[in-house]
Chains A and B, each alone.
Chain A
Amino acid sequence: EAEVAQSPRYKITEKSQAVAFWCDPISGHATLYWYRQILGQGPELLVQFQDESVVDDSQLPKDRFSAERLKGVDSTLKIQPAELGDSAMYLCASSSSGGRKEQYFGPGTRLTVT
């Protein structure tokens, strides 16, 4: 069964350092989402891509976060510089286009900023 891949699974970094997360969606899924999830809360959308274009990044802290999906397939989310408050689970999800459908999630990257 096709899955969304994410790496790394865990990342510990010191504040002010740069960190990057990678996501490979299910093949053929045009829509890709990056979420941040704080423990005990639901996911919060950071950025949404349709193919290689950003559909919504209104909740992305653009002074330190950036996201790209250059060829419309895999995607990278970067934080520079990391702050203590960035400690969270970062989830990637994808869905097929052509209708309002379910999202498929990767296993997530647990980020700890020290």
Chain B
Amino acid sequence: SQQGEEDPQALSIQEGENATMNCSYKTSINNLQWYRQNSGRGLVHLILIRSNEREKHSGRLRVTLDTSKKSSSLLITASRAADTASYFCATDAEDSNYQLIWGAGTKLIIKP
């Protein structure tokens, strides 16, 4: 079963613009992770935010977490063509056994 739901399902923006993707989840979590998947490839870990953190940065990535609303957002600033990919959030629920529950992903297209 999928816990996370990403919004929007697809996003197309011009190169240089910022891209924001949202993730909602259902149960209490230990952490929330964001991954990127290029077409036909494996997933690459981007960033992990723990339940007691509210914001985290990594390069052009900014992740926020609101545990009261059970939601997270991923912001990619100054987008590049190479950012074209699908982005997934995955939650490590408090009652899980080191398992992640995945959303369906947001497909991001950066137009040159």
Binding site for B on A (CB under 8 A): 4, 6, 31, 33, 40-45, 48, 55-56, 89, 91, 93, 95, 97, 100-108, 110
| CA–CA, A81 and B2, complex, Å | 27
Q: Which of B54-62, B64-72, B76-84, B93-101 contacts A (4 or more CB under 8 A)?
A: B93-101
Name the distance in Å between A111's Cβ and chain B's nearest Cβ.
13
Interface residue count on the B side (C-beta < 8 Å): 24
Q: Mark B31-72, 1 if CB is under 8 A from A, else 0.
A: 101010000111111001000000000000000000000000
Say whether A42 contacts B103, CB under 8 Å.
Answer: yes
| CA–CA, A76 and B45, complex, Å | 23
Say whether B43 contacts A91, CB under 8 Å.
Answer: yes
> Can you report 25 A-B residue pairs in the complex whose CB atoms are below 8 A from each other?
A33-B99, A41-B104, A41-B105, A42-B2, A42-B90, A42-B102, A42-B104, A43-B43, A43-B88, A43-B102, A45-B100, A48-B97, A55-B97, A55-B98, A56-B97, A56-B99, A100-B92, A102-B45, A102-B48, A103-B43, A105-B35, A105-B44, A107-B41, A108-B42, A110-B40
